[in-house]
């Protein structure tokens, strides 16, 4: 079985999540909106799970809703913030937001609004002054700034931006941060992904009390009135249980992951013509991306897979389309030969040792196949 080092795309199911999921399948199968006994038990489970997730996110229970997945949560976060401020047609976002946020921005433009992308530096970080100046201009309905970049791990100055925005709601994509690092203060609307902390497929949507947010979906019965449809209660229970479990050990896990990522960063920097991307200090503890000159990223992924290691190549959110990573383009970085390594709760030191042992040979193999050896 391959060693899994692509946790940013989704961590293996946490043992606590598995236990909670199986239990909830037995006890939480009924519709929590009904009034009979099984439904009341389901409602108790739903309320307890919501309270648990809210506590871990520093929110109120009524501020938390659950979506089918993280993509739906991101779409609802952005489009709902815009729908709540229809008199102002503008959206401001960083140039390196996840593709789901950019797709929501594109839909907004198609419907007559406008969106402005703020450039980033070579670490993929926005400038606070430039972002705030654009976001506080007349006609802006909402701003979107990720807590940390999903491809290179650089943290964004969310708290500083939020403090200067005034009444403009700030949508924060925290899908790579929750369960791994402290959540920045100041978010108005938040999206999170249970898969990244070892939960099942489930998105989390947070809307702060007092934020002007309106559901972009047709009116229907739904989860807290924000996400339509009957909630997936077993998944919600499992996500809440696993988030609580990883929060208990997060400080220790983050320190261990930070050390392991430092080892990876140092080791790959010794391979000729390899550049480590993202901020070396202000970054997520569990993720690193690097670019290899004279190497095709997909070929390198295959070479590592044959050696027993599952990693991500190219853009984490657009690689299936074979389009260059918009994140790396915005940074001015090499857009081919990229590899992202991300760790999870069960990653062992030996897993990283094994990866570093085979990486130089895999790079050399691809370069030789392309006739680029020794360049």
pLDDT tens string 65-95: 999 999 999 999 999 999 999 888 999 999 9
The pair of three-digit structure tokens given for residue 33, joined into one six-digit string:
């909106």
Query: What's the pLDDT at 318?
Result: 44
Tell me how far apart the alpha carbons of residues 171 and 207 are, in angstroms, rounded to a whole number.
9
CA 248 to chain centroid = 20
Domain edges within the chain: 3-9+250-369, 15-244
pLDDT in tens, the chain (375 residues): 789 999 999 999 999 999 999 999 998 898 898 999 999 999 999 999 999 999 999 999 999 999 999 999 999 999 999 999 988 899 999 999 999 999 999 999 999 999 999 999 999 999 999 999 999 999 999 999 999 999 999 999 999 999 999 999 999 999 999 999 999 999 999 999 999 999 999 999 999 999 999 999 987 776 777 999 889 999 999 999 999 999 999 999 999 999 999 999 999 999 999 999 999 999 999 999 999 999 988 899 999 999 999 999 755 444 444 578 999 999 999 888 899 999 999 999 999 999 999 999 999 999 998 776 655
Architecture of domain 15-244: 3-Layer(aba) Sandwich (3.40)
Query: What's the pLDDT at 319?
Result: 45
Q: Is 317 labeled as catalytic in the residue annotation?
A: yes
Tell me how far apart the alpha carbons of residues 149 and 39 are, in angstroms, rounded to a whole number.
40
Query: What's the pLDDT at 336?
Result: 82
Query: What's the pLDDT at 88?
Result: 87
> Which among 17, 20, 317, 327 is annotated as catalytic?
317
Cα Rg of the chain (Å, integer): 21
Write the DSSP assignment of 267-315 as a string of letters.
Answer: HHTTSTTEEEES-SSSB-TTEEEEEETT--HHHHHHHHHHTTEE-EES-
Query: What's the pLDDT at 202?
Result: 98
Class of CATH domain 3-9+250-369: alpha beta
What burial class does residue 185 get, using C-beta atoms within 10 Å of its C-beta: 0-12 exposed, 13-18 middle, 19+ buried?
exposed
Angle CA 255–258–259, to nearest 5 = 90
pLDDT tens string 278-330: 999 999 999 999 999 999 888 999 999 999 999 997 554 444 445 789 999 99
């Amino acid at each position: 079985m391959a060693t899994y080092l692509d946790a940013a795309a989704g961590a293996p199911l946490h043992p606590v999540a598995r236990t909670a999921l199986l239990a909830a399948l037995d006890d939480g199968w009924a519709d929590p909106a009904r009034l009979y006994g099984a439904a009341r038990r389901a409602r108790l489970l739903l309320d307890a799970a919501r309270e648990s997730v809210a506590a871990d996110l520093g929110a109120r229970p009524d501020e938390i809703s659950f979506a089918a997945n993280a993509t739906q949560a991101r779409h609802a976060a952005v489009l709902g913030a815009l729908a709540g401020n229809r008199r102002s047609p503008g959206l401001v976002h960083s140039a390196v937001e996840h593709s789901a946020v950019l797709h929501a921005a594109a839909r907004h433009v198609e419907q007559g609004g406008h969106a402005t992308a703020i450039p980033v530096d070579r670490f993929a970080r926005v400038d606070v002054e430039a972002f705030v100046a654009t976001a506080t201009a007349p006609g802006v309905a909402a701003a979107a700034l990720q807590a940390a970049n999903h491809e290179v791990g650089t943290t964004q100055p969310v708290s500083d931006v939020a403090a200067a925005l005034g009444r403009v709601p700030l949508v924060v994509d925290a899908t790579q941060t929750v369960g791994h690092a402290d959540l920045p203060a100041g978010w108005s609307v938040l999206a999170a992904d249970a898969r990244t902390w070892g939960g099942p497929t489930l998105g989390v949507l947070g809307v702060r009390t007092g934020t002007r947010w309106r559901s972009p979906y047709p009116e229907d019965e739904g989860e807290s009135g924000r996400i339509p449809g009957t909630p997936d209660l077993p998944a919600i229970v499992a996500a809440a249980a696993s988030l609580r479990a990883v929060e208990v050990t997060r400080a220790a896990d983050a320190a261990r992951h930070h050390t392991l990522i430092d080892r990876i960063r140092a080791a790959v920097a010794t391979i000729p013509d390899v550049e480590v991307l993202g901020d070396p200090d202000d970054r997520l503890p569990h993720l690193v991306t690097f670019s290899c000159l004279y190497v095709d990223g997909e070929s390198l992924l295959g070479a590592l897979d044959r050696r027993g290691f599952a990693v991500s190549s190219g853009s984490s959110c657009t690689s299936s389309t074979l389009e260059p990573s918009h994140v790396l383009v915005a940074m001015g970085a090499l857009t081919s030969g990229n590899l992202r390594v991300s760790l999870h709760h069960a990653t062992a030191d030996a897993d990283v040792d094994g990866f570093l042992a085979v990486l130089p040979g895999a790079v050399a193999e691809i370069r030789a196949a392309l006739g680029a050896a020794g360049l």
